[in-house]
Amino acid sequence: MDSDERIIKLYLGGQKDLFEILVKRHIDRVYNFAFRYVHDRGWAEDITQETFLKVWKNLRRFDPEKNFKTWLFRIARNTALDFLRKKKSVNFSELEEEDDKIFEPPDSGPMPQEIFERKETEAKIAKILDELSLKYRLVLILYYQNQLNFREISEISGESVDTVKSRHRRAILLVRQKLSQA
Amino acid sequence: MNESDKFGDLILKTELRAPVGLLGKIFSSIARRERRTAILKFGVYSGASALATALFTFSWGMASAALQESGTASVFSLIFSDFQSVLGNWSYFTLSLAESLPTLSLIYLLLSALALSILVSLAVTNLKNAGRLRPYGLKHA
């Protein structure tokens, strides 16, 4: 499988169709990140959309010698922060959500018990993350969900590696407290 | 299992998939953006082409007036009236023809023609791009 950086080089060389591969490869990760960060599916959808639009617009400025995933998450994080800042404005995706529900195909997925457990775990994570400040939330999501290392997280957040490490330590202490309370 | 592993396990267990249709939305918004840019560029290049046309018309008038005044036409007509002399003294003839040419006016004419052709081709390219519904040839856009 070609690396992201190679795909970008080919895309910039004129193979426009390759952008689709790039989006398909990362859409779930970015959506997950956005959802964990803002705790709202509609917002997460908007953030994902906006993130890839920014990636498309700025891809010429990306240095293929650098890590694409880091660059992508930096854009996603900045976009999410922008969305959080203007949270009082209208959320367009929420308006579309009702329509999506109507066309949802009959469920052939997990059993009710599994759904219940999943929802319970999701609620637990959401509660824990929600109670943490954004800086801790960012480190936890990127480290555990997106499997990024401390150096990559420091590039995304613009903080030093030591700061990221200490934030991770403190975040885990907070998580420990919250899990014991739950 | 320590707390960090437990948390990592929990977060991975509840990984979400992006909603169906989000990919299409992303490419639709890119297509819309690309189309808007193409329309804007078409407008700019069309305006510039109109200016270039005016400039070309002016240069054409200036060059033809200068050609009439310079006597280039009478020097050139020697080719038809006295071809043998032209052939015999071709170096003098070429020099006289070059000297009589209104160089500056012709340079203006050529430059304005070049600018006009480039701007028209850019305007046409952007018009084509604006008309395309699927900029990447995607099924989503």
Average pLDDT over residues A6-26: 89
Query: Which of A104, A138, A169 lies at the terminal end of a domain, its last residue?
Result: A104
Q: What is the pLDDT of residues B35-70, one digit of tens each?
A: 899 999 999 999 999 999 999 999 999 999 988 888
Shared domain for A115 and A98, answered yes or no, is no
Q: What is the pLDDT of residues A21-77, one digit of tens each?
A: 999 999 999 999 999 888 888 999 999 999 999 999 999 998 878 889 999 999 999
Which residues, other chains included, contact B59 with Cβ-Cβ below 8 Å and sequence gap of 6+? Answer: B105, B108, B109, B111, B112, B113
Size of the A and B interface in Cβ pairs below 8 Å: 90
Amino acid (one-letter) located at B139: K
Residue B2's pLDDT band (cuts 50, 70, 90): low
The residue extents of the domains of chain B are: 24-131
Residues A84 and A23 in one domain: yes
Q: Are residues A134 and A155 in the same domain?
A: yes
CATH number at residue A1: 1.10.1740.10
CATH code assigned at A128: 1.10.10.10
Same domain, A15 and A96: yes
Q: Per-residue pLDDT for A119 more than 50?
A: yes
**The domain boundary residue, chosen from A60, A80, A104:** A104
Residues A55 and A121 in one domain: no
Same structural domain, A62 and A32: yes
**Predicted ipTM?**
0.71
What mean pLDDT is predicted for residues B62-80?
85
Examine the domain organization and report whether A19 and A86 are in the same domain.
yes
**Residue B6 above 70 pLDDT?**
no
Which residues does chain B have within 8 Å of residue A125's beta carbon, measured at their own beta carbons? 7, 10-11, 14
For the residues B89-105, what does the mean pLDDT come to? 87
Residue A9 is part of which domain span? Answer: 1-104
Each residue's pLDDT tens digit, A135-178? 898 998 899 888 899 999 999 999 999 999 999 999 888 887 87
Question: d(Cα A31, Cα A24) in Å, to the nearest integer?
Answer: 11
Contact of A55 with A75, CB cutoff 8 Å: yes
The answer to whether residues A90 and A177 belong to one domain is no
Residue B97 has pLDDT above 90, yes or no: no
Task: Let me know whether A97 and A115 are in one domain.
Answer: no
Three-class SS string for chain A?
Answer: CCCHHHHHHHHHCCCCCHHHHHHHHHHHHHHHHHHHHHCCHHHHHHHHHHHHHHHHHHHHHCCCCCCHHHHHHHHHHHHHHHHHHCCCCCCHHHHHHHHHHHCCCCCCCCCHHHHHHHHHHHHHHHHHHHHCCHHHHHHHHHHHHCCCCHHHHHHHHCCCHHHHHHHHHHHHHHHHHHHHHC
Question: Residues of B with CB below 8 A from A179's CB?
Answer: 3, 6-7
pLDDT at A5 over 60: yes
How many CB atoms neighbour CB B32 within 10 A? 13
Q: Where among A86, A104, A122 does a domain terminate? A: A104
Tell me whether A76 touches chain B (CB under 8 Å). Answer: no
Of A24, A32, A100, the CB nearest to B15: A32
Cα nearest neighbour of A14 on chain B:
B136
Q: How many domains does chain A fold into?
A: 2
Q: Are residues A97 and A11 in the same domain?
A: yes
**CA distances to A85, A147, B61, B62, B101 from B104, in Å:** 60, 68, 13, 10, 9
> Which residues of B fall below an 8 Å CB-CB distance to A?
3-4, 6-8, 10-19, 21-23, 25-27, 29-30, 33, 135-138, 140
**Whether residues A99 and A114 fall in one domain:** no
Amino acid at A126: A
